[in-house]
Every structure is written in structure tokens, then in C-alpha cells.
Amino acid sequence: MGLLSHYQYYKNGGLPPQDANWGSYQYTTLADIINNYKLVYTGNQAQVNNVADHIIMFHAKRAIQELHYDAFKEVNAIELHVEDTLRFILPRDYVDYVRISMVKGGILHPLSQNPQILSATSYEQDTAGELVFDGVNLTEVDSDLDLAEGARLFQIGQGSNALHSNQNPQFSIDKARGVINFTSAMSGESCIVEYISDGMSDNNPNNISVNKFFEDYLYAYITYAILDSKLGVQEYIIRRALKKKTALLRNARIRISDISPGRLLQTLRQQGNTIK
């Protein structure tokens, strides 16, 4: 994204929606990363040359995914209504959850995870009890059994600990099926899932962005990945590219860290520690 005027930033140039560019200046898009890399880091006089655009795109996406796995502290949130199926489909860019909450009276009530909550697959049967096939495969349907509620009641009946004995809904994550399963108390309620994303929530490179603190690291990552996969590149050149990539990641992580002297002092005071 190019440099925006105040009018473009605050009012989107008079076009709707006016908030389209709010907060955008701290980010750069994947499309800009690709274009900048081709302009500055490739060519006859550069280490990287004769590289197809799709290869640069591939490594750029991998760099952004690695950042989300390892360095970013940004959290995505999505809200959905939980129906009678007691299932919540995981976002397609989901990596891991931070917090799962029920919304009640405008207040978030964090839920506890219960690994005892199960999900089952049932096979469709005809009126005679025979299994139904779709060609050569069995026809799968979701089980009607409320295994989630059954697991919760079993825990309570067996004298469970405080984590599982409260009356709040509970959940478990079935990554294989891509869903969150809830106990029946969650039916009809709204749920907010806060989660870590891999940064690939959109297929459009103009809608995928990364904090500008990591821009130089992305260029270094792409360069290292390309050199490391090419034949005939001297080992010392690859090691130098790896060293640069590692150093830029470390520096960017320090820059983006939430710890500052003022915040640190405030945190220590809240914890009742003596500050000298």
C-alpha cells in the first residue's frame, strides 16, 4: 500500500466504507511484498534471478505463515450462533485457540476444555438396519447421541474436579473433522472463538497483510528459501542468507514486543512487587 494522505486514511477518499484504511499504515500487503521483492531483489545483478512469480509467491506465503506460528501476538476473533448440532466450524485459517467464550448479557464467559467430550460418526442404515452405501463407500451421518452431555454428566457423577463440575458449557476441539463440540448447555447461545491464524484467511494477496516491522525479514526469508533450493549456489552464500534472515526476525520480534519500561513498571506494581 502506498503512502496515504490524511483524507484517504481517515475518510477513504470520500468513498464508502470510510473506515477501510484505519490502522492500515502499520501493515504492508502480500501483493506489495511480491512487487517490491521483484523490483529490488531480483535481476541480472542480484543473487536471485530467473525465478518465476509463483515461486516467490509460495515462499512469501510460507514466510507469513511461519510468522503467525512463531512470532505474532495478534489474535483473530469470530462469533457464531451455536445450533442444536452443538458444533462450531473452525475458521479455515485456524491454527490454535486462545480463548473460547459464551456471550451472555454482553459479557464473555470463558469456557473450559473437556477432552472427555467426544464426537461420533454414524453410518446411515435403511429400515431393515442394513448399511447404506454411496457407490462403494458407506454413507456417513452425524450421530444423534449427545456424547458431549453424556461425558459431562459422567464426570459429575464420578466426582469430577472443579474444572469439570461447573454448570457452564464445555467444549472439545475435533481437528480431524474441523469442528468444536459443545455440551448441550451451549445450544442456542452465541460463541466467540479467539484464535491464532496462519495469516491466510483470504486468497487475495491485496487482503493479506503483515506488520511493517517484519517486511525486511520477509525479503530475507524469500531470498534464503530460493537460494537454498537452487542448484549450484555456494554454501557460504546460503549460510549468509540464513544468518541475515535469523537476525532480522530476532530484531523485528524485539521491536514488536509489548514490553516497554512504562508497561513493565505498571505490571510489577499490580503484582505487588517492590520496585527499586
**Mean pLDDT, each 10-residue run in order, the chain (276 residues):** 80 90 85 95 88 95 89 82 90 92 92 75 77 75 52 46 61 89 92 92 88 93 96 95 95 73 56 47
**What confidence score (pLDDT) does residue 32 get?**
93
Based on the domain organization, do 90 and 166 belong to the same domain? yes
- At which residue does the C-alpha cell 494522505 appear? 5
> Of 197, 222, 250, which one is at a domain's C-terminal end?
197
Q: Long-range contacts for 135-140 (Cβ within 8 Å, ≥24 apart)?
A: none
d(CA 148, CA 120): 10
Q: Is residue 272 part of a domain?
A: no
The answer to whether position 240 is within a domain reads yes
Assign 203 to helix, strand or coil. Answer: coil
Domain shared by 101 and 181, yes or no: yes
> 139 and 242, same structural domain?
no
CA atoms within a 13 Å half-sphere pointing along the CA-CB vector of 141: 11
Q: Domain span at residue 39?
A: 27-70+212-258
Same domain, 181 and 226: no
Within this chain, do residues 171 and 189 fall inside the same structural domain, yes or no?
Answer: yes
Of the candidates 19, 17, 37, the residue with the CA atom closest to the CA atom of residue 28: 37
User: Does residue 204 lie within any of the structural domains?
Assistant: no
**pLDDT tens profile 131-187:** 888 777 777 665 555 444 444 444 454 444 444 445 689 999 988 889 999 998 999
Q: Does residue 91 share a domain with residue 66?
A: no
Structural domain total, the chain: 2
Predicted TM-score (pTM) of the model is 0.68
> Residues 128, 241: one domain?
no
173 neighbors 118 (Cβ within 8 angstroms): no
C-alpha 14/C-alpha 6 separation (Å) is 11
